[in-house]
Amino acid sequence: MTMELRHLRAFLAIAEEGTITRAATRLHTGQPALSRTLRQLETHLGVRLVDRSTHHLELTAAGRAFRDRAAAALAAVDTAFDPRSLAALPLRLGHPWAALGDLTLPLLRRWDEEHPGVPLELRRVDDRTAGLAQGKVDVALLRGELRSPDLVTELLLREERVAVVPADSDLAGRDKLALADLTPWPIALNTVAGTTTLDLWPAAARPRTVIEVTNTDEWLTAIAAGRAVGISTSATPRMHTHPAIAYRPLTDAPPVPLVLAWHRGAPAHPAIPDLIRLAHELVAER
């Protein structure tokens, strides 16, 4: 049987909704028809994509791997059929948090001046690759060590780490902090796109309590409410000021690399070299 876009859309709806019922409602189709479509796709691929052993469906390992491929394929199709792309092909720049810090606005303004015919779209995507893996963006600003063989990276700078603490805490009264100062507190960790892990601390001196969050807004709220402390980079205070949060230099944690990343081997957006050049210029001018 020939595979069609509806097979990809059906699979992604099931993956996102978690049940055949909700996915069928979303796609305005019946449950039996959606189940047949999923079986057709699995038969074509020769693998089971969805584990149906529970009421709440779970993706198999093959299903998780195929999800990114399916999302990227549909994103490419949507871009091809977008009538706006015939006038100008935008350069989609993703980031999971903080973008280029205080250089974000200068980057956007200089780009508009130098490249008026190529829109630069800044998109926050709460994902480890800021949407690169799903084809949602063309290039991304990412922090931390990246080891994916599928990505090409260009180092822009290394950002110092900062402690992020409630403004009314004793910690906020100090000029600088060390990792050990944060140990008695619960630590807020962004498990989706953050650069902080418990490996920063010695194994015998790690915080006992972890509050897991999935995006920057949840992370900031946990700290502002006095429920936790956090660790970030020097870009965060420049992008996220908050009256209930204080930022202090962290003296004994290594800096975090900030890179531009894009897909290896895939046709790259022709404006990526110009973005790299401009980003380097702004960093050098700081």
Q: What are the chain's domains?
A: 5-80 (1.10.10.10), 83-158+257-285 (3.40.190.10), 161-254 (3.40.190.10)
Q: What is the mean pLDDT of residues 129-136?
A: 90
Helix axis angle for 20-27 and 5-17, nearest 10°, is: 130
- Scan for tokens 């603490």, then name that residue: 165
The token duo for 66 is: 């195929």
Give me the pLDDT at residue 87, please: 47
Q: What whole-number distance in Å separates Cα of residue 124 and Cα of residue 140?
A: 10
Label residue 72 by pLDDT band (50, 70, 90): confident
The token duo for 64 is: 């998780």
Q: What is the mean pLDDT of residues 125-154?
A: 91
Least confident of 19-23, 221-225, 278-282: 19-23
pLDDT tens, residue by residue, 22-38:
888 888 888 888 889 88
Q: What whole-number distance in Å separates Cα of residue 144 and Cα of residue 194?
A: 9
pLDDT tens, residue by residue, 52-63:
766 668 889 888
Q: What is the mean pLDDT of residues 88-92?
A: 86
Q: What whole-number distance in Å separates Cα of residue 163 and Cα of residue 150?
A: 32
Q: What whole-number distance in Å separates Cα of residue 116 and Cα of residue 17?
A: 40
Q: Of 141, 146, 152, 155, which is closest to residue 101 (Cα–Cα)?
A: 141
pLDDT tens, residue by residue, 248-259:
999 999 999 999
- DSSP assignment letter at 98: S
Look over the chain and give the mean of its residue pLDDT values, rounded to a whole number.
Answer: 91
Q: For residue 270, is pLDDT > 80? A: yes
Q: Of 194, 211, 195, 216, which is closest to residue 124 (Cα–Cα)?
A: 216
